[in-house]
Structure 1
Amino acid sequence: ELVRAFVNLRLKPNKDLLQDLINKANGLNRANYTSASLKAVDTEVEKANVVLNNPEATKEEVEAAVSELTKALAGLEANPVETVKPGDTTVSVKTGDTTNMMYSLGGLAVASIIFYGNKKRKNK
């Protein structure tokens, strides 16, 4: 009996990566993605949960679930960002500053050198 039990003994696959992927999928901000891509992720999460909760799941089943869920998460499509709504007549104001400060600092350094040189010359 002991030999038969030993032969039938199987190693249980590690499901940590699968659990992490399910947690990642459940933690997504659903407003940022298209409903079609979220549907694909939801389908794979359901399948992955079945494998995760199956104590008899094989290593191959776990790896397949990880692969499919990873593929679904990689296939997420972001919602298009609508910057101007139809009929909106307000003008957008650019709020970022793109001025390069090196020119200002360089000018200040040159002016300081000239000022210092003129002051030193007047003192002689």
Structure 2
Amino acid sequence: YSELVRAFVNLRLKPNKDLLQDLINKANGLSRANYTSESLKAVDAEVAKANAVLNNSEATKEEVEAAVSELTKALAGLEAKPVETVKPGDTTVSVKTGDDNVIGATVALMTLSLAGYYISKKRKS
């Protein structure tokens, strides 16, 4: 009876770690080229802490919630790398994007439409 009471007293619920696992997967799946190295270091540090909590079978609900909170903050604090803009006086040649094809097709369609309209008007006369 005393062993059963002791076992019952020592029972505790294991916290759900699914959200923590999802956040770790999200952090590991980031395209690292899009973010600054400083903000990625903060995320990496929190991922390491979160992995420690995730792998700890004795982790409490409070520890899991704290790890989720800190990792969420780190992910929210990610800073995108600045987009490079063209500076005045830059002599770099632009890359062709193929936009000329759309303009050419539009002009050709308009010409054919006008020719068709002209021919139909001439036949009626």
Same fold per TM (> 0.5)?
Answer: yes
> Sequence identity, in percent?
90
- Alpha-carbon distance, 1:86 to partner: 8.9
Distance 1:90 1:37, change over 3 A: same
Unaligned runs of 5+ in 1: 98-118
Unaligned runs of 5+ in 2: 100-122
Amino acid in the other structure paired with 1:64: A
The alignment yields a C-alpha RMSD, in angstroms, of: 3.3
Aligned counterpart, 1:14 = 16
> Which one of the candidate residues 79, 82, 95 is aligned to 1:80?
82
Residues 14-64 of structure 1 show CA distances to partners (whole Å, capped at 9, x for unaligned) of: 001101111111111111000000000000000001100000000000000
Aligned counterpart, 1:46 = 48
SS in 1 for 2:92: coil
- Alpha-carbon distance, 1:87 to partner: 7.4
Amino acid in the other structure paired with 1:32: N
Aligned counterpart, 1:103 = none
Amino acid in the other structure paired with 2:28: N
Q: Distance in 2 between matches of 1:7 and 1:52?
A: 24
What does residue range 78-117 of structure 1 map to in structure 2 within 5 Å? Answer: 78-84=80-86, 88-90=90-92, 92=94
- Alpha-carbon distance, 1:92 to partner: 4.1
Amino acid in the other structure paired with 1:56: E
Aligned counterpart, 1:36 = 38
- The question of 1:58 aligning with 2:71 is answered no
Residues 61-91 of structure 1 show CA distances to partners (whole Å, capped at 9, x for unaligned) of: 0000000000000100000111337974035
User: TM-score scaled by structure 2?
Assistant: 0.72
Aligned counterpart, 1:113 = none
Q: Distance in 2 between matches of 1:36 and 1:78?
A: 11
SS in 2 for 1:4: helix
Q: Distance in 1 between matches of 2:17 and 2:35?
A: 27
- The question of 1:69 aligning with 2:71 is answered yes
Q: Distance in 2 between matches of 1:29 and 1:58?
A: 32
SS in 2 for 1:90: coil
